[in-house]
Amino acid sequence: MKTRFIVLGLVLQISVFGQKSEFFKGIDFDSSFTIIGIGQSLDKNADTLLRFNFVIDNPEDMQRLKREWVFKGPVRNIAIETVSFDIFIVKDKRVFNRGGIIFPRQGIIKSGDNWYRFDTAVLIKLNRDHPLKFRTQWYNFNSYTKYAAFGNSILNDSSLLFFTEPSLRYEGKFFIIVNRSNDPDSPIWAMGDINRELKELAPEHTYTVSNALTDSFNIVNKRKTKIEVNCSKSLYDKYKSKRSDLGEWQPSLIDIKTFWRE
């Protein structure tokens, strides 16, 4: 029995490490797609990886890369690097899929759920055949309407590579100042009451209720607590008629990062 167990374990290990990952699996590239590779760093003084940057907008070249980027044999013991190389799969100038990330120093690429060995000489060749020089710019808007108008206005600009779309789960937030529960260190009962009141007006997944533990008001005040609610403006307006202790509505700022050819 012992011998059979060892053999089975060995087969299982070989099976796991023999797995392959298709980096662009399931994507049928056409002229609406672009594959963009960009070096990014958390350290302004670090290597910017300009020798690796590339852009591919020809469907035939994209299909060829799809066939070539198939990796086998996951690697372990990965260390986070401050300088990385990101692969963006873009469709109609919007990020279709955050394809993956490459850590050049370790020579590894994230594909699917695993990391695989990767020769950065591939990126040098891609840069030579499909060079890219780019710049970035941030924009912020105080309403979705203004953001949408701006986004639509730049889509036909040939120098635009793509822009990151913001998370628009909640339109904004507001605060409620309420009395603490019998336990002066716990606002849990007040949050429970607020959740029940909101549930009467909207589905639970459309809002969040939280206690800002690091807020200076909550740190100092022992008799009252500040509760934060993230939700839609329409829910705020409905809820405002039920309570008199609500703060002002604070719309979420919409930030986007744009990438442009130079």
State both tokens at 128.
């030579």
Backbone dihedral region for residue 71 (phi beyond 0: left; psi -120 to 50: alpha; all else: beta): beta
Cβ(185)–Cβ(213) under 8 Å? Answer: no
Span 204-233, pLDDT tens digits: 899 999 886 667 787 787 778 888 999 999
Q: Which fold does the domain 172-255 belong to in CATH?
A: Alpha-Beta Plaits (3.30.70)
Q: Determine the Cα–Cα distance for residues 178 and 211; give it in Å rounded to an integer.
A: 11
Model pLDDT, residue 18? 54
Cβ(176)–Cβ(223) under 8 Å? Answer: no
Domains of the chain by residue range: 21-132, 172-255
Highest mean pLDDT among 11-15, 85-89, 166-170, 220-224: 85-89
Model pLDDT, residue 216? 78
Model pLDDT, residue 169? 83
